[in-house]
Amino acid sequence: MNTLKWVRGVNGTLGWIAPQRVASKMRLAFMTPRALPLRDWELPLLANSERITLRFGLSALRWGHGPTVLLMHGWEGRPTQFAALITALVDAGYTVVALDGPAHGRSPGREANVVLFARAMLEAAAELPPLQAVIGHSMGGASAMLAVQLGLRTETLVSIAAPARILGVLRGFARYVGMPPRARSAFIRQVEQDVGMRAATLDVAHYQLEMPGLIVHAEDDNFVSVKESQLIHESWFDSRLLRLESGGHQRVLADPRVIDGVLSLLTGRSLQARQSA
């Protein structure tokens, strides 16, 4: 029996008897990231970076000289996953600062969530020059959009493979690990209590996104549905939607069309790849 099948079996049984207990264990699992190893292709970029420490011990990597672009990776991610984009931005004359999210890399903490990521971006921005762009991948994209609601200022914003609704993420996880209805409800309530916000409010439909933006999503993303990108686009007046036929959830970060889209946004050029206006 594999681990997931065992977890689902335990949750499916115990979740009816002790829903709060199951919810508590799953909340901890949901918010505790694993430290995953770097790939070989990430090492050269890491070797050329400058490690900096920001407020509250937040760790970040920095490259280049020029206007500042802030990057935020996704769940169990790391700055060097943006390698191709970082290289292109530095070559184009930008300073790139890529955070280790809370409980990731060298940043402190044992647990992480979208609100903690958003607050980390706010703290980092307070110590950096004015931001020309903020770019977030997956949960980092959701966090970037939330951070703007909390006061983050940036000239432009890029969301890559991000969910539009955090409540959908929570429900999806609860179903994935086999929690029955009462345990699912308890799980969501516990997460809300932990982050200090109602999950239903963490929805781009309620956000004010007034800067120019780029939304990127691959149609074969098996982690976050491409439908989420359309919801974000519909809630963001001054945004461009770049949907790619392939790229999955991670490979999309290195797609030349994404890199061109980001540089186009920064320079005010029109996108050449397929987009929705």
65-95: pLDDT as tens digits: 999 999 999 999 999 999 999 999 999 999 9
Q: How confident is the model at residue 1 (pLDDT cuts 50, 70, 90)?
A: low
pLDDT at position 276 = 41
C-alpha–C-alpha distance, residues 120 and 147, integer Å: 9
Q: What is the pTM of this model?
A: 0.93
C-alpha–C-alpha distance, residues 161 and 149, integer Å: 19
Give me the numbers of helices (H) and strands (E) for the chain, helices first please.
Answer: 10, 8
User: Beta 95-99 vs 59-63: how paired, if at all?
Assistant: antiparallel
C-alpha–C-alpha distance, residues 73 and 138, integer Å: 7
Tens of pLDDT, residues 155-206 = 999 999 999 999 999 999 999 999 999 999 999 999 999 999 999 999 999 9
C-alpha–C-alpha distance, residues 270 and 258, integer Å: 13
What are the residue boundaries of the structural domains of the chain, listed by start? 47-163+208-277, 166-201
Phi, psi of 55 (to 5 degrees): -55, 145
**Which class is domain 47-163+208-277?**
alpha beta
Phi, psi of 152 (to 5 degrees): -65, 135
